[in-house]
Amino acid sequence: MTIVIGCDNAAVPMKTMLIKFLESKGVTVENAGCDSADDPTNYPAVAKRACESIIASGYKKRGVLVCGTGIGMCMTANKFRGIRAAVCHDNFSAERSILSNNGNVLCMGERVVGHELAKKIVGEWITLEFREGPSSPKIREIIAIEAENMK
């Protein structure tokens, strides 16, 4: 599994910690930036890089995006065709983002989630796989709406 991970300058400590955590689990990590609290790159540019990498992989990669709250990253990520991003600040939401919504980008807030909880959330999230079932028709509806609105 490859995870594309990115943050803005508000979330560098969490991103750095998550890279080490993911690598310790044997996950390949692709860094989409930023790497310093002094980096003026805004979160939309980082989310764009991450999502473009996921799309270029044929959606084989997943993404983890972190900013102050996770909200801005999530809003930006969901502007890309085929990206289903969710803000998840607990394990249940992260689980449902995959199992109910076939999500491929997890967004979190450095100012909202502690580092130990972030590790638990991401650690569980990377083990999950969507399976066809009762949620499949809903996901097809999401994809149809996306196709209508993202021409």
Tokens of 115: 């580092």
Residue of 67, 50, 48 lying closest to 10 (CA atoms): 67
Q: Are 32 and 49 in contact (CB under 8 A)?
A: yes
Q: How far is CA 128 from CA 3, 94, 123, 131, in A?
A: 13, 9, 10, 10
**Of 7, 51, 67, 74, which residue is the catalytic one?**
67
User: Has 7 been annotated as catalytic?
Assistant: no
Total Cβ atoms within 10 A of residue 33: 18
**DSSP structure class, residue 8:** -
Edge-to-edge strands of the sheet including 105-109? 28-31, 2-7, 62-67, 105-109, 85-87
Please state, in angstroms and rounded to a whole number, the distance separating the CA atoms of residues 12 and 81: 27
Q: Which residues are catalytic, by number?
A: 67
